[in-house]
Structure 1
Amino acid sequence: MPLTIFLIIIGFITVLQSATPFLLKRTIAFGVTIPEGHTDNRTIASYKKTYTMTVLVTGIFSLAGYYVWATTDSLAEEQVVLTGLVIQFGILFLSMGLYLLFHAKTTRLKQSQNWGSDLKQVRIADLAIRSKDEMLPSSIYALPMIITVGLIAYTATQYSSIPDLIPTHWGPSGKPDAFSQKTPFSVIALLLILLVMQGMMLVINVFTKRSGIKLNAAKSKTSKVQQLSFRKYTSWFLFITSVLVTVLFGFLQLTTIHEGLGNTALMLAMPLGFLLLILLGTAVYAFKVGQSGSRIDVSFDDTSTAGITDVDDDKYWKAGVFYVNKNDPSIFVEKRFGVGWTINFAKPAGYFILFVPVVIILLIAFLL
């Protein structure tokens, strides 16, 4: 079971990381703004190809070697898990190192060839676009939270029948491998963690909905469709993730209350099914939508406007990864490398939204 899980995760990370340069807007390469007219530059294309092939080949060989090693030797489960984690982080660190290398090369190339000096930088604003935004209302995100509150109430009614030892961790086999003494706090600790996670997702949806909608100056009609689609599917993906986490944690809570509820097969199937659904959803989101909706096909021909390009805001992106702009009211902004959102590090509220829930979750786990 651990081997299967790690093979799936390593394979997924390899594919997603190797494909990342081709999931982004054409006007962004390795965290650098590429002006109109230079998006098809051969040198940039070679950087993308080298990055992709290096990550992909390394991942494939690592995956094959890991499988052969794990199936030919009599190994302890801990060895398989530890090695799988090392390979995962190895691929991530490799991709991060390659990104920083090509970010620096792309920056130097852009500066040495003075790209965009002959183009007028334009920022497009559409005052009516907010009315067309189809992101889910935040009230929808409250539904899983209501279910969690209901589970907390149900747990309270069943307190006397709950076993004296409460599972606090489940191993790769699906069986609990760590326990805590039954107390009014420990019996609902898992649900409290779930409630914090749900609250974080709700708040993220609120502030991504308020974030600025950036349109492409040269292709405003196309980017409008793509931006609205990106925001809609991001909202749905986040909500589905919240629902899936609720189902998994709710199931684990019910098996704690009713010991006979989950047989071995079901305890294996639930976490594995959760993992597969999350990975499948992430793959659909990344490959069908792309960053900023760049992979969304439009049904009309939007001819590029000559002589203009987007405003170059590279100065606000540290290493093309960390966005620091105190003049931008947006707390969440679209990533420049990868699919999804990141925080505006100049806004303290972003730290609060992301890191306070993590601290609370760690505190709950520590108190068990």
Structure 2
Amino acid sequence: MDGFIFSLVMLVVIGLLQAFVPYWVKETIVFGVTVPDQQVYHPVVKASKKIYTLTLLGLLAIIIVGYVLWHLNSTVNDELLIIVGIILQFILIGISMLMYLILHNKITELKKVEEWGAELKQVKVTDWSVRARDEMLPIFYFLLPIFVVGGLIIYTYSQYPLLPENIATHWGPNGQPDAFTNKNRFSVIAIPLILLVMQIMFAGIIELTRRSGIKISVTRTKQSIRQQLAMRKYSSWFMFLMTMLITILFSILQLTTIHSDLVGESTMLTMFIVFIFITIIGSIAFAVKLSSLGDSKGDNYSTSGITDVDEDQYWIGGLIYFNRNDPSVFVEKRFGVGWTVNLARPIAIACIFGPIVLILLISIFA
């Protein structure tokens, strides 16, 4: 039952987040395509957003009904329920991406045929004083958990003789370990090392985001500044929340390896449930908060004869950003909530693949 509830909640959350993305991003970015202010209410633009949202909501309803009926009319364990739930989530995401690509090409072709913005002068705005108003959390917040993990590693080695000969490496849906490896000097700190890699990654993302450019709209100057500053602030808060949740979860798992009677089975299961729900609630709150800062709030400024610089040429499919002229490592996504990397910057490649490689190496050698 627990596995079914988790999967059902995740399906609903992912489905709703995907369905309403077109209404959460900037009005002047439609399915990854730059749209001048004069065309944001174009009939095709409005219809495309509506079709995308209603189709995904209908698909989500069908998947949920089918998943619930299958659960009620069959006797399967939680593990299979979770596996099927994950598969359904990927199917939903895959269909949403297919629809996105179709509509991206449709808007791109429409923009080309109707020559949107051809008569407008492209202008780029820079205001260095905006950085003084940046309220992102300082890097110090993200360094504290790293020191905690360092202390956890030291404590683990101090208790090495008391550790069991089989070290847990995986935990099942019930919160109990279901996979083990032999005890050695490396395997006993594998979990803290993985945690350390993730913490350093989070700290790096925050610092590189802080140094990235703040893009200001020439036609929506005040709104774009407010939106950009809020985006940076709330992103840092959300990242800190995730850092703390992961640190607490992994630390408890590590301590239960050292002291097997520290946490009971019911407490461990409750901990996993709390972790999942706080993550879900935090993600929803983050997305909703950012959606309330849309460009439609407030008045437009200096809209006559000018428009923002069209950067479509730097976005592959509206999803992948590659711009050698932009020193920023992280930029705001064109579709979805959050940030993506500028693949033209070598450090961006390191941010993506470095942690993955390190975690894989730790898992292999552990």
User: TM-score when scaled to structure 2?
Assistant: 0.96
CA deviation after TM superposition for structure 1 residue 256, in Å: 1.0
In the alignment, is the contact (CA less than 8 A) between 2:26 and 2:295 conserved in 1?
A: no
- Aligned-pair identity in percent equals 44
CA deviation after TM superposition for structure 1 residue 357, in Å: 0.7
Deviations along 1:131-157, one digit per CA (max 9) or x if unpaired, are 111111112210011111111111111
Instruction: Give every structure 1 segment of 4 or more consecutive aligned residues whose post-TM-superposition deviation is greater than 6 Å.
Output: none
SS of the residue corresponding to residue 155 of structure 2 reads: helix
CA RMSD of aligned residues (A): 1.5
In the alignment, is the contact (CA less than 8 A) between 1:289 and 1:296 conserved in 2?
A: no
Q: Report the Cα distance in structure 2 between the residues aligned to 1:315 and 1:139, rounded to whole angstroms.
A: 37
In the alignment, is the contact (CA less than 8 A) between 1:14 and 1:59 conserved in 2?
A: yes
Per the alignment, residue 340 of structure 1 pairs with 338
CA deviation after TM superposition for structure 1 residue 59, in Å: 1.3
CA deviation after TM superposition for structure 1 residue 304, in Å: 5.3
Q: Report the Cα distance in structure 2 between the residues aligned to 1:64 and 1:281, rounded to whole angstroms.
A: 26
Superposition map of 1:58-77 within 5 A: 58-77=59-78
Deviations along 1:17-57, one digit per CA (max 9) or x if unpaired, are 00111110010000000001111112111111111111111
Q: 1:307 aligns with which of 301, 305, 308?
A: 305
Per the alignment, residue 189 of structure 1 pairs with 190
Aligned length: 365
Q: Report the Cα distance in structure 2 between the residues aligned to 1:43 and 1:72, rounded to whole angstroms.
A: 43
Superposition map of 1:29-44 within 5 A: 29-44=30-45
CA deviation after TM superposition for structure 1 residue 345, in Å: 1.2
Q: Report the Cα distance in structure 2 between the residues aligned to 1:205 and 1:326, rounded to whole angstroms.
A: 21
Per the alignment, residue 91 of structure 1 pairs with 92
Q: Does 1:117 align with 2:106?
A: no
Superposition map of 1:77-226 within 5 A: 77-226=78-227
Per the alignment, residue 294 of structure 2 pairs with 295
The AA in structure 1 aligned to 2:232 is: R
User: TM-score when scaled to structure 1?
Assistant: 0.96
The AA in structure 1 aligned to 2:287 is: A
In the alignment, is the contact (CA less than 8 A) between 1:32 and 1:320 conserved in 2?
A: yes
Deviations along 1:143-199, one digit per CA (max 9) or x if unpaired, are 011111111111111111122211100011111110111112111100000000000
CA deviation after TM superposition for structure 1 residue 81, in Å: 2.7
Superposition map of 1:233-244 within 5 A: 233-244=234-245
Q: Report the Cα distance in structure 2 between the residues aligned to 1:157 and 1:76, rounded to whole angstroms.
A: 40
Deviates more, 1:117-126 or 1:196-205: 117-126
SS of the residue corresponding to residue 37 of structure 2 reads: coil
CA deviation after TM superposition for structure 1 residue 297, in Å: 8.8
| Structure 2 unaligned residues grouped into runs of 5+ | none
Q: 1:365 aligns with which of 345, 363, 366?
A: 363
Q: Report the Cα distance in structure 2 between the residues aligned to 1:297 and 1:318, rounded to whole angstroms.
A: 26
Per the alignment, residue 250 of structure 1 pairs with 251
Deviations along 1:280-299, one digit per CA (max 9) or x if unpaired, are 11111111113xx743896x
CA deviation after TM superposition for structure 1 residue 245, in Å: 0.5
SS of the residue corresponding to residue 340 of structure 2 reads: strand
CA deviation after TM superposition for structure 1 residue 98, in Å: 0.2
In the alignment, is the contact (CA less than 8 A) between 1:200 and 1:354 conserved in 2?
A: no
Q: Report the Cα distance in structure 1 between the residues aligned to 2:203 and 2:285, rounded to whole angstroms.
A: 22
In the alignment, is the contact (CA less than 8 A) between 1:216 and 1:310 conserved in 2?
A: yes
